[in-house]
Amino acid sequence: MSISNISQVLLRNIEVLSATTPLFINLMEDGFITRYLHDYPNANITCYNTNFIDYLAINNKYENQIKTLFSSEYKNEIKHDLVVINFPKSKDELAFTLAMIAPYLLNNAKIILVGEKKGGVQSAPKLTQHFLTSCQKIDAARHCLLFGGIHETKEGESDAFIIEDWYKNYEVNISGITLIIAALPGVFSQKKLDVGTALLLDNLPKYMQGKVLDFGCGAGVISCLIGKKFTNTDLSLLDVSALAIASAKRTLMLNGLTGNVFASDSLSNVNESYQHIVSNPPFHQGTQTSYQATEDFLRGIKKHLTATKQQKSDITIVANSFLQYLPIMQQHIGKTNTIARKQGFNIYYHKKG
Q: Indicate whether 159 pLDDT > 80.
A: no
285 pLDDT band, cuts 50/70/90, is: very low
pLDDT at 289: 47
Give the number of other CB atoms < 10 A from CB of residue 319.
23
pLDDT band at 312 (very low <50, low <70, confident <90, very high): confident
Q: How far apart are CA 48 and CA 55, in angstroms?
A: 8
The reported pTM is 0.94
Band of residue 126 on the pLDDT scale cut at 50, 70, 90: very high
> Higher-confidence residue: 308 or 340?
340
Cα dihedral 327, 329, 334, 335, rounded to 10, equals: -60
Is the pLDDT reported for residue 309 higher than 80? no
Query: DSSP strand E in 42-164: where?
Result: 46-49, 67-70, 80-86, 105-116, 133-141, 144-151
76, pLDDT greater than 50: yes
Domain 5-151 sits in CATH at 3.40.50.150
Q: Is the pLDDT of residue 302 over 80?
A: yes
* Helix 32-39 × helix 5-12 angle, to 10°: 20
Residues 6+ away with beta carbon under 8 Å from 239: 216, 217, 218, 245, 248, 261, 263, 264
Mean pLDDT of the chain: 93
- Beta strand pairing status for 313-320 and 276-279? parallel
Q: Are 137 and 145 in contact (CB under 8 A)?
A: yes
Residue ranges, CATH 3.40.50.150, the chain? 5-151, 167-352
* Structural contact between residues 315 and 349, judged by C-beta atoms closer than 8 angstroms: yes
Which letter, b or e, does each residue of 41-70 get, where b requires 16 or more Cβ atoms within 10 Å of its Cβ? eebebbbbbbbbbbbbbbbeebeeebbbbb
Q: How confident is the model at residue 157 (pLDDT cuts 50, 70, 90)?
A: low
CB neighbour class for 155 (10 Å; exposed up to 12, middle 13-18, buried from 19): exposed
At 288 the pLDDT is 46
Cα R_g (the chain), whole angstroms:
22
Q: What is the pLDDT of residue 84?
A: 98
User: What CATH code would you report for 167-352?
Assistant: 3.40.50.150
Angle at the Cα of 69 from the Cα atoms of 67 and 75, rounded to 5 degrees:
95
Region 99-123: mean pLDDT is: 96
Cα within 13 Å of Cα(250), Cβ side: 23
Report d(CA 335, CA 3) in Å as an integer: 40
User: Are 181 and 328 spatial neighbours (Cβ–Cβ below 8 Å)?
Assistant: no
Q: What confidence category does residue 287 fall into, taking pLDDT thresholds of 50, 70 and 90?
A: very low
| Pairing between β-strand 210-215 and β-strand 345-352 as defined by DSSP bridges | unpaired
Is residue 55 predicted with pLDDT exceeding 80?
A: yes
Bridge pairing between strands 345-352 and 313-320: antiparallel
